[in-house]
Amino acid sequence: MSNIPKDAVVLDELIRLLRSLIGHVEFGSIELIFHNGKLVQLEKSEKIRFDKP
């Protein structure tokens, strides 16, 4: 059995996920949603911009 606390594993996974999301957003936002002090959801909103014709 691992000696790594569960919170540390969850935090490592969250950091990995955020890095992945941030790396793929050119224009947009990433929002962290909390409920009763706990992170429950991540939302990614992206805009696609077109050059003027």
Report the 10 Å Cβ neighbour count for 28. 13
Name the token pair of 8: 């540390």
What is the rounded CA–CA span in Å between residue 36 and residue 33? 10
Q: Where along the chain do its domains lie?
A: 6-46
Output the tens digit of pLDDT for each of the chain's 53 residues.
566 677 777 888 888 988 888 887 888 898 999 999 888 898 989 888 888 76
Q: What is the pTM of this model?
A: 0.62
What is the rounded CA–CA span in Å between residue 5 and residue 48? 40
46 beta partners:
28
The torsion defined by the Cα of 49, 30, 18 and 4, in degrees rounded to 10, comes to: -170
What is the rounded CA–CA span in Å between residue 29 and residue 11? 20
